[in-house]
Structure formats: C-alpha cells, structure tokens
Amino acid sequence: MSATRPADAAEAALAAAFETADAGRRAQLLMEIAAGLQQDARAPDHIAVAIGLYDHALDACPAEDLLLRARILARQGSALQIVPGPGIDALEAARGRYEAALPDLRAGGREAEIAEVEMNLGLVLQSLAGASAARLTDAIAAYRRALRVFDAQRYPVEYAIVQSNLATASLLLPDATPPSRGAPGANRAQAQAYYEDAYRIFVAHGETERAALLAGAMAELAAET
C-alpha cells in the first residue's frame, strides 16, 4: 500500500462497506479494514485514516451490539496509542477508548482480548504517568489484570511482554527500601526479577530480538547498581 494515498484507501474501504446492507456487518467490515490499514501503515497518515474508519464503524454499529462496539473502541484505542508526535491528547483518547470498551468486553468478550486491552491500557497509563497525567500504580494494576489470563503456560510470549512492562514500571516507582552496600532497592530488585523471567521465556521461545533488548536493559540495570 502506498504511503502517499491514505485517502484513496479510505474511499475504497467506505465504498466496500456501504455495499453491505446489514449495519452490523458493515461495522464489522469497516473495523477489519481499519485494522488492516493500521497494521500495514507506513506513514502517520495511514494511522489517521484508520482512526477515521473506526469512527465510521462506530457510527454504523447497531446500538444493541455492545460487544462489537467494545471491540471497535479497543481497536481504535490501539491506533490512537501509536499516533506519533508531542503531547498526550492521543494517549488520553486511547485511555478513554480502552476504559469504555472494557466493561462490555468483560461481559461477553474472549479472555485473551480482554487481557490484551488491559496490557495496552497499562502501557498508555504508564506513558501518561510520565507526563503526570495518570498514576503509575494504575498502570501496574492493569498489567497484573492482564496476567490473570496471560500466564506463562498458556501465553508465554504475552506473559513475558507484560513482565518486561512491569519491570520498566517498577523502575519508575520511588523505592521505599533504598539501595545499600551494593544491593539494589526493593523496586529495582523486583524489576531485575521481572526482566530475568521475561528474558528466559523470550529465549526459550525464539524471540531473539526481544531477548536482546532485555539483555541490554539488564546490563544497564546491573551497571547502575
């Protein structure tokens, strides 16, 4: 897909969707087209177009189909989460989409999709915490809710991703137990344990790039201790 023609992609998507008479099917199709555009995006304009298509999907979604609406909101949140540029408006919007989606996803969605939204919400809250617009403890709580589903046995890679996110968040928390005699403080020690757990799983499952990133993070942490 050309990076210079997002408007054409949106026009084609809308034409295809509106050939479908059923409103629910039209909303579903628009969501799928937006998700494909988002996944293959090669320029910021493609993300903007995908966000607009999600808006069209929400407009088309039947009011009684709460689960479909929640899924569209969650997908739109994931697009807003990766909008480039300064400021936190897109992150705030992503947070709103995730929080709006979760009640209906919890009521009727699949456990893995709920956990994915919790993980993404944690990432958004962690970024907002860096701008003093959210609490880091809320991000950590969202990660822990994701781990209720993303356990090491059934979802090892997802589990390891959440563990590495928890490590990063732990390093940002003030340490009630300060370092002493070369030993790390409590939060740094917890972060190190999260990193080691995630690294082991990434290696075991062939996630070499992720493992290499964690190896670098662990080395930096050890050097700072």
Q: What is the pLDDT of residue 186?
A: 85
- pLDDT for the residue 4: 46
Give CA–CA dist 34/76, Å, rounded: 9
Binned at pLDDT 50, 70 and 90, residue 1 comes out as very low
Give the C-alpha separation, 93 to 155, whole Å.
28
- Summarize the confidence of residues 194-219 as an average pLDDT: 97
User: Per DSSP, which regions of 63-110 are E strands?
Assistant: none
Q: Are 85 and 73 in contact (CB under 8 A)?
A: no
Residues 34-73 pLDDT 10s? 999 999 888 888 899 999 999 999 999 999 999 999 999 9
User: Residue 159's closest CA among 150, 167, 168, 170?
Assistant: 150
Percent of the chain with pLDDT over 90: 74
* Closest of 87, 80, 157 to residue 123, by C-alpha: 80
Tell me, what's the pLDDT at 139? Answer: 98
Residue 182: per-residue pLDDT: 47
What is residue 168's predicted lDDT score, i.e. its pLDDT? Answer: 95
